[in-house]
């Protein structure tokens, strides 16, 4: 695909996202909540959510109420649920838009109920329990009593109960089973008390794929729908594919004499006469300012040389004499026989693929293949 009107852009294949969701539905046998927070892990909130709904998804997980409201305003036919904290002052907006909120704190729950009553609409909530993540959530011990109280608050509809797994992406570790045992104990207490809500969810992508017992009747999958591995220890099964490709272009090709400094602070000097290309991508796009990056040009891996600038970076083209101005450069994705995955990019940057895609700047045009 040729996008000559852009200098750097993302190509996002919505067919691949739908296919990944279908695979997850087949494997897990339960409904999928597509986790679309952080601009759908960089893939674009609205387009990704529409594709997820086309694939049969009825739940969309976000981190902030503003993300949920964006989905609501776009008229997307699925339930948005805010998995993180929502200030009580915003609970009325949530109730009016049918947005589900996580609840784990009594004072906040009370304030949510007051807000919901004041707008005259029920607020649907999912009670969040901390079974071991060490983050948000009420304690599962005493959880039955707390749920009884929560259910008594006029204005709230307790629709779900959930927890989050800390180490599902390291399936050999005992943590996940320990967390799920605590969660199951809570669930059987709720069942006996007649308080088990309709929806029960615990699994992220790794949990959904590697711990069948964590599936309950809904799984919250993010990274897998984008076709990226939760971790090296919890890779995706056969059939999943990455949906995103990141490209730029060569905007200049020049010959420099030996010992010529390249880019800010001359962190690179040409060793001999060198052909240096300029790529129209920089750290403001999410391409990190570090030495040792590689990119693909004409199907070959090429070193980035010198400091990455805000909007540009330089590459050494000595190994590709045929490279010329206008050539497509791939930063994530396939070119010819070669590929740079988001996971490789993450290893290069000593981070995880999640961070690589979430950092893709808003200014990058997103081109959808549908
Ligand atoms: C509460 C919650 N559930 C589910 C997910 C999705 O996780 P993953 O992208 O590993 O599937 C996240 C992501 O961080 C999360 O915070």
Residue of 33, 35, 57 to mutate, ligand 1, most atoms within 8 A of C-beta: 35
Amino acid 243: pLDDT: 98
Low-confidence ranges of the chain (pLDDT < 50): none
- Cβ(222) – ligand 1 distance below 6 Å: yes
Residue of 220, 342, 354 to mutate, ligand 1, most atoms within 8 A of C-beta: 220
For the record, the structure tokens of 310 come out as 């805000």
- Cβ(220) – ligand 1 distance below 6 Å: yes
Catalytic residue, from 19, 37, 50, 247: name it. 37
Amino acid 3: pLDDT: 63
Amino acid 2: pLDDT: 62
DSSP readout, 107-158?
HHHHHHHHHHHHHTS-EEEEEEE-SSSSSS-B-STTHHHHHHHHHHSTTEEE
Amino acid 1: pLDDT: 55
CA–CA dist 81, 94 (Å, integer): 10
Q: Phi and psi dihedrals of 46, rounded to 5?
A: -75, -50
Q: If DSSP codes are grouped into helix, strand and coil, which group holds residue 293?
A: coil
Looking only at the bridges linking them, the beta strands covering 300-305 and 294-297 are antiparallel
Element (H, E) at 330: strand 328-335
CA–CA dist 128, 114 (Å, integer): 20
Question: Contact 310/320 with Cβ under 8 angstroms?
Answer: no
Q: Quick check: is 264 catalytic?
A: yes
Amino acid 5: pLDDT: 85
Q: Phi and psi dihedrals of 11, rounded to 5?
A: -110, 125
Amino acid 19: pLDDT: 98
- DSSP code, position 196: -
Place of tokens 């081109």: 367
Element (H, E) at 338: strand 338-340
CA–CA dist 202, 113 (Å, integer): 25
Question: Contact 131/140 with Cβ under 8 angstroms?
Answer: yes
Q: If DSSP codes are grouped into helix, strand and coil, which group holds residue 159?
A: strand
Kindly list the distances between the CA atom of residue 134 and the CA atoms of 72, 166, 325, in Å, as whole numbers in the listed order: 31, 8, 51
Q: Quick check: is 37 catalytic?
A: yes
Please, what are the domains in the chain?
14-226 (3.20.20.10), 244-340 (2.40.37.10)
Kindly list the distances between the CA atom of residue 269 and the CA atoms of 10, 170, 284, 329, in Å, as whole numbers in the listed order: 31, 42, 24, 22
Please compute, for residue 212, the number of CA atoms within 13 A of its CA located in the half-sphere on the CB side: 4
């Amino acid at each position: 695909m040729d996008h000559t009107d852009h200098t750097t852009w993302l190509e996002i294949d919505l067919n691949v996202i739908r296919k990944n969701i279908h695979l997850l539905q087949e494997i897990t046998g339960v409904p999928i909540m597509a986790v679309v927070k952080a601009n759908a892990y960089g893939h674009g909130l609205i387009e990704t959510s529409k594709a997820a709904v086309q694939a049969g998804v009825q739940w969309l997980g976000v981190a902030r109420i503003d993300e949920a409201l964006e989905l609501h305003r776009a008229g997307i036919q699925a339930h948005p649920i805010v998995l993180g904290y929502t200030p009580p002052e915003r609970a009325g907006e949530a109730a009016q838009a049918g947005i589900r909120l996580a609840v784990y704190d009594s004072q906040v729950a009370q304030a949510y109920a007051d807000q919901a009553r004041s707008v005259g609409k029920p607020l649907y909530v999912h009670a969040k329990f901390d079974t071991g993540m060490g983050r948000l959530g009420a304690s599962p011990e005493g959880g039955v009593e707390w749920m009884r109280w929560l259910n008594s608050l006029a204005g709230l509809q307790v629709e779900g109960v959930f927890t989050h797994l800390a180490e599902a992406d390291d399936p050999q570790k005992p943590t996940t089973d320990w967390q799920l045992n605590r969660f199951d104990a809570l669930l059987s207490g709720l069942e006996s008390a007649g308080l088990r809500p309709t929806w029960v969810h615990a699994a992220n992508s790794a949990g959904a794929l590697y711990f069948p017992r964590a599936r309950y009747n809904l799984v919250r999958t993010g990274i897998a729908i984008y076709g990226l591995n939760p971790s090296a220890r919890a890779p995706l099964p056969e059939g999943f594919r990455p949906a995103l490709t990141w490209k730029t272009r060569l905007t200049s090709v020049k010959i420099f004499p030996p010992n010529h400094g390249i880019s800010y602070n001359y962190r690179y000097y040409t060793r001999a006469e060198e052909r240096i290309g300029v790529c129209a991508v920089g750290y403001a796009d999410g391409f990190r300012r570090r030495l040792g990056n590689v990119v693909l040009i004409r199907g070959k891996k090429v070193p980035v040389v010198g400091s990455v600038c805000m909007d540009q970076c330089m590459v050494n083209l000595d190994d590709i004499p045929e490279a010329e101005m206008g050539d497509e450069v791939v930063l994530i994705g396939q070119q010819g026989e070669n590929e740079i995955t988001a996971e490789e990019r993450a290893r290069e940057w000593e981070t995880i693929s999640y961070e690589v895609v979430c950092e893709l700047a808003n200014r990058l045009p997103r081109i959808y293949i549908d």
